[in-house]
Structure 1
């Protein structure tokens, strides 16, 4: 059975490296993007069922994360999206959920938290 693919979109290179290393250790395939435009280009060109999950930052260098979330949901309505931000507040979380996010994580978050959200969202990586 093919490995599940997790897409990560965050402008912080350290966060991309950290999440990629952690998720690959769980047996997941990982693709990273430093901006929303390259993420959308990947989603528009890939197979509809090829990605299992998207971890996306709220603040991206080329636009607002909520705008990219709306576009992601237009391209891939069934793709679960976990929104992440260091600038968390109730209004931002509500807007993310209203936009179609399945989870909202304020940064910093623990390894246990992100692994728990991933397992809740897509199940065990090995299955």
Structure 2
């Protein structure tokens, strides 16, 4: 159901070991991927040292922007769940030195809860 979940705006968990191999060029020598989630083409990756968001761009998704956020730089985060008329949930992450939060939108409360819990474990 991973592809269908992604198309619907639901995050699905990705194999951390597979992603570890894909990211060897950008990970520190002692860094390891612990959890990863895919949202359509974008990714939210939790390592033992930082949060990495991957924003795939273009038609093919070959071009990607990686944003690296050390956990100590996360000042606050919030979650807004779906309602009766509002079918989207949002995760907001505020980073020290940036006025506006990073916003990720989901259509599934289960996946946003999983990511929020992981963020709580790593950032607190």
- Structure (1 or 2) with the larger CA radius of gyration: 2
TM over 0.5: no
Structure with greater strand percent: 2
Higher relative contact order (CA 8 A, sep 6+): 1
Structure with greater helix percent: 1
TM, length-normalised to structure 2: 0.30
